[in-house]
Amino acid sequence: MKEPKAAIVEVRLPSRLGYEKVAMSTAGAVAHLMGFRDDRIEDLKTAVAEACINAIEHGNRLNETRSVGVTLSAVADVLEVKVIDAGRGLEHLPPLPDIDRKMHGEQDPRGMGIFLIQALVDEAEWVAGVDGDSSYVRLVIRLDKVA
Amino acid sequence: MQSETRAHIDQLKSPAGDAVAVLRFEGDIASTSKDAVLGTYQSLPREAHPLILLDFTKVDYINSSGIALVIQLLMEAASAGQKVSVCGLSPHFNKVFTMVGIPKYANLFPTHAEALAAL
């Protein structure tokens, strides 16, 4: 049986905060074309935005000479998003956000992006390139068969 | 690229007759929103405003840095003995605020009217 052909969309962003919204809108448009429900599109948009913010701030360290690559691959009912930066990747995942610890000054009020990504998509993995000067996060979201 | 955050303060009374300071935000809530979120809150005399309502009805985009600013506001309000409520979040951002635990420290209401009625 013939495999369905992937629809590939690529976006390249400057490492400037705010431009994550371009990737977010693009991901939302692709997911809409694939027939995702509105609430899942919102989940995906937030996950993509947070992945791009991490790439801009931490991967590329706000260096505008470096860009963030975003590749969306739509195959059948699966949308895969890769957000690629020039950083070394995550050494370890940050601790889960704890609102009580944040409210008591025991945990940075920030640091919720990776938690949100993991919670909002079906799969999320962080991959460091072997050369040490690139890494990516791979997100997968699946079209629900039952509304 | 990021839409500037605008904040307006309305002084209202709750049905119980308590003074409510309503902070109405417009635009994005992101890392660039510190002055609009924390600065606007800090401009209020604390003792005169025991009740604070954060109205996000006209906000389309909130990211984790913006949520962190809301948490910082909640920290300051808790130490000042103020009660904070939130209204006007889209269903998606209502879910996100809930995921990070904000309802433990601020009640979330769908609309401005429902929030005011409950204060």
Chain segment A1-57, per-residue pLDDT in tens: 677 789 999 999 999 999 999 999 999 999 999 999 999 999 999 999 999 999 999
The verdict on residue A67 lying in a domain is yes
What CATH number does the domain containing A129 carry? 3.30.565.10
Contact B65 A110 (CB under 8 A): yes
In a domain, residue B1? The reply is no
Domain that holds residue A81: 7-142
Indicate the range of A38-52, A123-137, B94-108 predicted with least confidence.
A123-137
Does residue B75 form part of some domain? yes
- How many C-beta atoms surround the C-beta of residue A112 within 10 A? 26
Which residues of chain A does B65 touch, with a Cβ-Cβ cutoff of 8 Å?
Answer: 53, 110
Structure confidence by residue, pLDDT tens digits, B49-82: 899 999 999 999 999 999 999 999 999 999 999 9
Give domain status of residue A102, yes or no.
Answer: yes
Neighbours of A63 (CB within 10 A): 12
| Amino acid A146: pLDDT | 47
The residues facing A126 across adjacent strands are: A137
- On whether residue A2 sits in a domain, the answer given is no
- pLDDT single digits (tens) B33-55: 999 999 999 999 988 889 999 99
Which residue range is the domain that position B69 belongs to? Answer: 6-118
The residue type of A115 is: F
If one counts the domains in chain B, the total is 1
Give me the pLDDT at residue B1, please.
Answer: 63
Q: Can you tell me the distance from the alpha carbon of A35 to that of A77, in angstroms, rounded to the nearest whole number?
A: 9
- The residue of A54, A99, A106, A107 whose CB has the most chain B CBs within 10 angstroms, and thus the best one to mutate to test that interface, is A99
* Residues in chain B closer than 8 A to A98 (CB atoms): 101
Beta strands in chain A (DSSP E): 7-14, 67-75, 78-85, 123-128, 135-142
- How far CA A11 is from CA of A5, A8, B27, B90, in Å, comes to 20, 10, 24, 27
For residue B81, the domain's CATH number is 3.30.750.24
Q: Do B92 and A46 touch (CB under 8 A)?
A: yes
- What pLDDT does B16 receive? 86
How many domains does chain A contain in total?
1
Establish if A16 belongs to a structural domain: yes
Nearest residue on chain A to B29, alpha-carbon basis: A18
In a domain, B48, yes or no: yes
Between A147 and A126, the more confident residue is A126
pLDDT recorded at residue A147: 44
Residue A41 has what pLDDT? 97
Asked which of A55-59, A131-135, A137-141, B85-89 is least confident by mean pLDDT, the reply is: A131-135
Alpha-carbon distance B25 to nearest alpha carbon in chain A (angstroms): 18
pLDDT of residue B48: 86
Q: How far apart are CA A126 and CA A135, in angstroms?
A: 8
Does B88 reside within a domain?
A: yes
Query: Using CB atoms and an 8 Å cut-off, which of residues 10-29 of chain A contact chain B?
Result: 16-22
Question: Where residue B2 falls among pLDDT bands split at 50, 70, 90?
Answer: low
pTM for the complete prediction? 0.94
